[in-house]
A and B are shown apart, each in its own frame.
Chain A
């Protein structure tokens, strides 16, 4: 079957005895914007380099638009890549930087000229064409690097942390421009980042990688509201989700009752396979969903109150000794050493089994509708 887009099957990559990628299976649709997100060392850059043909696979197959590209040299893969440090040729001016690869591959000068002019207009760098990279600012260099990718008219764009060398405000601007560029070109883009904000805001879908494996592949809001496991739940969202140890009291086909610090909670699920009641589970709840309330089920002491203006981050030690973070309104008077009670609503919680897998969470209809909105091209939802 001919499938448009990128398909990766059973990809493994080892450096010597170190397994960096341990069996990756992905299908990325034509025209999609997908981020590879994960902490450093998770293998996201290696995976990108494998797709680019800059690393040889240890095992596995890669298809692009139905054509196998596993063993093709980079140049024949119909891809373009943007590097973190831009990798501009410092001794060539902007025009030559963009035209270099094309002219060596025998493209007619008029065609090259037209492509360079188009790309320069798209990126608003026409007036910089005769400058050397050292006379450009970081943001301009980034644009040139992207321009060098555009002129190749690739089927697939690979971007390796392209914004991480820019300062914070420029990063926000470039983020918006990248998004607009993707809309305009309509080409598949893969974007490696360790910044969850970039991944969440730019992507149609996000691949969260953990120690060389795909922890979850889904839409940004799906990762947030329905994380597949403890890793994704802890990685997405800031401050991090709170995790509390709990015991199973009772379970039905679509609910589970757990006991936590003397109180019991009955949590609805979307129907789950029975969980071994003898093993402990983990209850997860985001800091903005824990509420300070007189009649709350949990009690604790505020260790630290961070006031950020719009909101406060309260670091609370529960009476069981477990630490949690609670977000309150910025005007809330809570102070360190205050005794507080916290309320948990079952609908706001996540339950993870002893192996860290999430039980399918039942969401309220509004959230369910939000995360099911079609994301990007050819999204069946």
Chain B
């Protein structure tokens, strides 16, 4: 009897553990789960910033999907952006990381230089790019003119504007690069030495050793790039304001306009939920099909010495 009580009291640890994790719990409920639930409720309302709120079930969602061509347009632009941005972002980050992983003098300097754009405020970054892209005074067109090319109106021509935003976005690949660089440095150098001794050429070392060993990091950066592509707002908002001819009117910008220009919080919340579901679905699909190409290091249970 006393034994049983001792065991049950051992199993009920009391309040102390909860107190220890309370900062996180409070933060999670107040700043993550709370707002999410709140926005879900909002999305089921006609919710103007000032005035009467009205519960309208799924009207916001059905309007969006059936009567709002702008929703589809902005989603299309975002998908197009993501399709170009995500692979480019990962490929360039990987290339840079491989280059910076070579042990030569000055790599620390280059590492800093390539990461620098990631710590500059987005607004300042856009100001720089605005100047670079300027049709008549811009650095880019000046450079092209030296080569005898008459540069386009980067930000004013609907054919070039999305490309201009992709290039400006790629400037922030420092974070991705750093993750891949850390991944490269954690690959044991003996794997390459063993490959060298067996006569494996350099390209094959990259394809059959580097990329598989880096695959968890590649998966991670793939998903985070995907998310950031769908959330693209700052650069487009400040660089082109969605123009010209709505050619850079991203999904996130339409949400922003609905909320703060058209003051329709309910509709903006519903759109945010659609974006959330799209990102969630894509991420889950990527994770599901990643098992085929992602290799996780780490001991199997019961392995090890012996």
Contact = CB atoms under 8 A, between A and B. Distances in A.
B147 interface: no
Nearest to A83: B190
Interface in B59-73: none
B276 interface: no
A356 interface: no
B190 A87 contact: yes
Contacts of A170: 305-306
A135 B299 CA distance: 8
Interface in A32-90: 52-54, 73-76, 79-81, 83, 85, 87, 89-90
Interface in B276-292: none
B305 A167 contact: yes
B297 interface: yes
Contacts of B193: 52, 54, 81, 83, 87
B41 interface: no
Nearest to A160: B190
Contact of A136 (B191, B212, B303): B303
Interface string B62-86: 0000000000000000000000000
A91 B213 contact: yes
A104 B197 CA distance: 13
Contact of A104 (B194, B200, B295, B300): B200
Contact of A100 (B200, B213, B295, B298): B200
Tell me which of A73, A87, A137, A152 has the highest count of chain B C-beta atoms within 10 A of its own C-beta.
A87
Contact of A87 (B191, B300, B303): B191
A47 to B, nearest CB: 15
Interface string B200-217: 110010001100110100
A107 to B, nearest CB: 10
A80 B199 CA distance: 10
Nearest to A86: B190
Contacts of A218: none
Interface size class of A (residues with CB under 8 A): 20 to 34
B196 interface: yes
Contacts of A139: 306
A180 to B, nearest CB: 21
B288 to A, nearest CB: 19
Interface in A116-134: 132, 134
A100 B208 contact: yes
Given A89-B209, A100-B208, A134-B298, A79 B197 contact: yes
A165 B305 CA distance: 8
A101 B201 CA distance: 9
Contact of A101 (B191, B195, B299, B300): B195
B197 A75 contact: yes
A102 to B, nearest CB: 8
Interface in B253-306: 295, 297-300, 303-306
Nearest to B209: A89
Contact of A167 (B196, B204, B306): B306
29 contacts: A52-B193, A53-B197, A54-B193, A54-B197, A74-B196, A75-B196, A75-B197, A75-B198, A75-B200, A79-B197, A83-B190, A83-B193, A85-B190, A87-B188, A87-B193, A89-B191, A89-B212, A90-B213, A100-B195, A101-B197, A104-B198, A104-B200, A105-B199, A134-B299, A136-B303, A137-B306, A138-B304, A152-B198, A166-B305
Interface of B: 188, 190-191, 193-201, 204, 208-209, 212-213, 215, 295, 297-300, 303-306
User: Which 7 A-B residue pairings sit nearest by Cβ, starting from the closest?
Assistant: A101-B198, A75-B199, A87-B190, A91-B295, A138-B305, A87-B194, A91-B212
